[in-house]
Structure 1
Amino acid sequence: MDWDDLRIFLTVAREESLSGAGKRLGIDASTVGRRVARLEGALGAKLFVKTPQGYALAPEGERLLPHAELAESALSGAREALSGPGDLTGQLRIGAPDGCANYLLPQICAKLCENHPGLEIQIVALPRVFNLSRREADMAIAVSQPQAGRLVVQRLTDYQLHLAGHDDYLKSHPPITSRDDLRGHRMIGYIPDMIFDRELDYLTETGMDWAQLTSNSVSVQTQAVRAGAGLGIVHDFAIPFCPGVRRILTDQISLRRSFWLIRHADDRRSQRMNRLAEALALGIRQEVARLQALLAVESPSQVHT
């Protein structure tokens, strides 16, 4: 059995299409199809079933998958054993919710790239849960702890969120001294049917059940607050990037959430992935603490209560 054929099998299983696998591997789809057919012929088994949605694993393919993943992990481990514990190299794809991807990961990854010139980092910012079994990412950051799957889950850090508005909006609208005053203000939040994780249902905790301006992206919501479009829940670590945005009702509305680092279970055997996870975890803890500490120096006049 040829390892390269197994590698192609794994990529088709994860991409669920010949064209998607071809793009990931840098070869054309027809070549991917021929290599899959060659592997099926060598094994005497049908590995995929073609469906309207793409290529799904057949029962024989499902049985082969964990063995192919073990071979992939063993090969990666062999490379690490020969290269030693020097600089981190190769590609790392990190999946993250867009708030983390926009306001935390650029600084963290810049330091990683500076310390490890041979490392190529891809940041995939999507407002949904990543599927690590399909290798959409090498590791993912999530806002809630997954309850199923062959995963390694690590709690990274807590972070805070508050209701906020821009100075221009706050000066031109009625004063806010309590939750009751919010009824007379424009609210910014998530599109209700596109909240992919219950931890993101921020407005419910303010007592508001409706927002006039909504987006599936928390970064878009934050920029809408910065533009003076209304009031919204904003990550404390994002506020230093938004001049003029101030927290309000800090003594009445304060949310706490956590970031979780999620990895595929097989990656525990990889020293490279362990080192990358450790560096990423440390970077996130330090960057959240640094940015939130900047708000601690706000003067009373800058915090609307």
Structure 2
Amino acid sequence: MNWDDLRVFLAVARAESLSGAAKATRLDPATLGRRIARLEDALGVGLFARSPRGYDLTEEGERLLPRAEQAEQALAQGVDDLRGQAGQLAGSVRIGAPDGVANFLLPQVTAAISDANPGLEIQVVALPRVFNLSRREADMAIAVSPPTAGRLTVQKITDYRLHLAATREYLERHGPIRGLSDLRGHRIIGYIADMIFDPELDYLAETGAERVALTSNSVSVQLHWLRAGAGLGIVHDFAIPTAPGLVKVLPTEVSLRRTFYLIRHGDDRRLARLNRFAGLLTEGLRAEVARLEAQS
């Protein structure tokens, strides 16, 4: 058995399909199928149960999985040790993040890290959902709630603030807003209710809004509606500097505080390269949130 066979095994186990593993390994599904069959023949056991749903681990495959992950970690740690001698970070790091932090914070922070580490490839996956680090969808993820299950490590990054906002033009076209009761009759912008993937994102529940007229699962879409003068909505304070026409509405009555957390797979805590990157990322995000909120 060689490491490349284990790499293929891990990719299929995490993706639970050949097509999903093909994206991770850049091998075509037919090649992956042959490689898995070859590994099973060499071991004399079936590692996967094939079904229309995909590839599920057998009992033998479940026993092999933690050993293969240990081999993966040992190899990664060895590579990290060698790269660490050069003083700069190299290789690739994939970050999973909600689109708010991905759009308004990570570009500046990761650009600075890249400037200091030109041999490093940084990938940002911006999706409005929770990332599955056990399946290695990302090396680390930013979340608004700490996970309660899984072999994961959690580190608080920073608190951040949100406020109700609208453009000056919108407010001039409509009646004055002196209290929460005045929000009735205004067009409200927010999340699609059944696509809120974390209770911490249910911002409008705190405003008492009964109807949300314009909804999207994307923070960026919501912000563009606000910039277009389409209504009122909750916006991150760190995003307000990107939309100079926005002003806070009822800043005392509607003032929300949330927290960003950095989530990593528990086995990665021994990897010096990822530890260093996580430190730079956390430090950069704290500074960028503080800088932008001071301008809002």
Residues 252-291 of structure 1: matches in 2 within 5 Å? 252-291=253-292
Residues 4-19 of structure 1: matches in 2 within 5 Å? 4-19=4-19
- The worse-fitting range, judged by mean Cα deviation, of 279-288 and 26-35 is 26-35
Asked if the contact 2:143–2:260 (Cα under 8 Å) also holds between the matched residues in 1, the reply is yes
How much has 1:48 moved relative to structure 2?
A: 1.2
Deviations 1:87-117 (A, max 9, x none): 1011111000010000000001111111100
How much has 1:34 moved relative to structure 2?
A: 1.1
Deviations 1:250-288 (A, max 9, x none): 011100000000000010110011011111111110110
How much has 1:209 moved relative to structure 2?
A: 2.9
Is 2:63 aligned against 1:63? Answer: yes
How much has 1:79 moved relative to structure 2?
A: 1.4
**Matching residue's letter, 1:3:** W
Deviations 1:216-251 (A, max 9, x none): 112211111111110000000000001201111001
The answer for the alignment partner of 2:44 in structure 1 is 44
How much has 1:212 moved relative to structure 2?
A: 0.5
Deviations 1:177-210 (A, max 9, x none): 1001000211001111111100000000011132
TM-score under structure 1 length normalisation: 0.94
**Matching residue's letter, 1:272:** R
The answer for the alignment partner of 2:125 in structure 1 is 124
The answer for the alignment partner of 1:107 in structure 2 is 108
Distance 1:58 1:31 in 2: 21
- SS of the counterpart of 1:95? strand
Residues 25-174 of structure 1: matches in 2 within 5 Å? 25-85=25-85, 86-174=87-175
Query: What is the count of residue pairs matched by the alignment?
Result: 295
The answer for the alignment partner of 1:301 in structure 2 is none
Distance 2:205 2:10 in 1: 42
Aligned-pair identity (%):
64
Is 2:216 aligned against 1:215? Answer: yes
- SS of the counterpart of 2:240? helix
Supply the RMSD in Å over aligned alpha carbons: 1.0
Asked if the contact 2:167–2:226 (Cα under 8 Å) also holds between the matched residues in 1, the reply is yes
- SS of the counterpart of 2:156? strand
The ranges of structure 1 where at least 4 consecutive aligned residues each deviate by more than 3 angstroms after the TM superposition are: none
The answer for the alignment partner of 1:224 in structure 2 is 225
Distance 2:128 2:220 in 1: 10
- The worse-fitting range, judged by mean Cα deviation, of 249-258 and 46-55 is 46-55
Residue ranges of structure 2 left out of the alignment (5+ in a row)? none
- SS of the counterpart of 1:134? coil
How much has 1:84 moved relative to structure 2?
A: 2.8
How much has 1:51 moved relative to structure 2?
A: 2.5
Asked if the contact 2:84–2:273 (Cα under 8 Å) also holds between the matched residues in 1, the reply is no
- SS of the counterpart of 1:184? coil
Distance 1:77 1:113 in 2: 21
- The worse-fitting range, judged by mean Cα deviation, of 64-73 and 76-85 is 76-85
- SS of the counterpart of 1:137? coil
